[in-house]
A and B are shown apart, each in its own frame.
Chain A
Amino acid sequence: GAVVSQHPSWVICKSGTSVKIECRSLDFQATTMFWYRQFPKQSLMLMATSNEGSKATYEQGVEKDKFLINHASLTLSTLTVTSAHPEDSSFYICSATLGQSRVWDTEAFFGQGTRLTVV
């Protein structure tokens, strides 16, 4: 399957600082990427949909000014957690789809995830 690379795998930051997480599709172009958040022992919750060249679409309850998403190219989306606080500590996972032209191309491929710890 297609490969999605996420970086960094883990990060520890001080409260009040900002952290950037990168999500890259390595061997395909992804017009759409998704960002999920997973708290310990819980399921994945969609945070936002990232579309290349346009503003991200955020799910209800997700602060767009706190979780900045930029999808500058067809292979890269970034999530910046601004002014991070301990409650932002979580596992963040991105996914990307090949496209929408064929049914099987809509399968989502997931990055390795980033464990963020805010101290």
Chain B
Amino acid sequence: ELKVEQNPLFLSMQEGKNYTIYCNYSTTSDRLYWYRQDPGKSLESLFVLLSNGAVKQEGRLMASLDTKARLSTLHITAAVHDLSATYFCAVEGGGSQGNLIFGKGTKLSVKP
């Protein structure tokens, strides 16, 4: 059974600080996704990581993928309040492409 584990599940941080969210998965996959979800809203695609060693950056967020370690990280630099949301990583679960298995999510709260 494919498992996707995120940690931490809850993260409270001050504005201006840096932090990293980790995503481990239990099977081989060369594709990993990061999404953001605001309360009561659907998912917003942040990053699609397609190969080992892939690194992508958008604003204060940077994601990386190590397929050998089955690990992806989402690094937050100099956090601001607007980044407060729940962040999910996901990998493809097999069968039809696009079928995603999600981690439990990391609820990020950035305080002034």
Contact = CB atoms under 8 A, between A and B. Distances in A.
A78 interface: no
B95 interface: yes
B89 to A, nearest CB: 10
A4 to B, nearest CB: 9
Contacts, number: 66
Interface in B48-107: 48, 50, 88, 92-93, 95-105
Nearest to A95: B98
A97 B98 contact: yes
B97 A42 contact: no
A68 interface: no
B45 A106 contact: no
Contact of B40 (A44, A57, A106, A115): A115
A44 B31 CA distance: 18
A93 to B, nearest CB: 6
Interface string A13-40: 0000000000000000000101000000
Looking at chain B's contact residues, the main secondary structure is loop
Given A43-B88, A43-B105, A44-B102, A107 B41 contact: no
A113 B43 CA distance: 9
A93 B43 contact: yes
A110 B97 contact: no
Chain A interface mostly: strand
A46 B43 CA distance: 14
B50 A103 contact: yes
A93 B95 CA distance: 19
A49 B99 contact: yes
Nearest to B43: A110
B102 A43 contact: yes
A34 B100 contact: yes
Nearest to A98: B98
Nearest to B98: A97
Interface in B1-60: 31, 33, 35, 40-43, 45, 48, 50
Interface of A: 1, 6, 32, 34, 42-46, 49, 51, 57, 93, 95-97, 100, 103-104, 106-113, 115
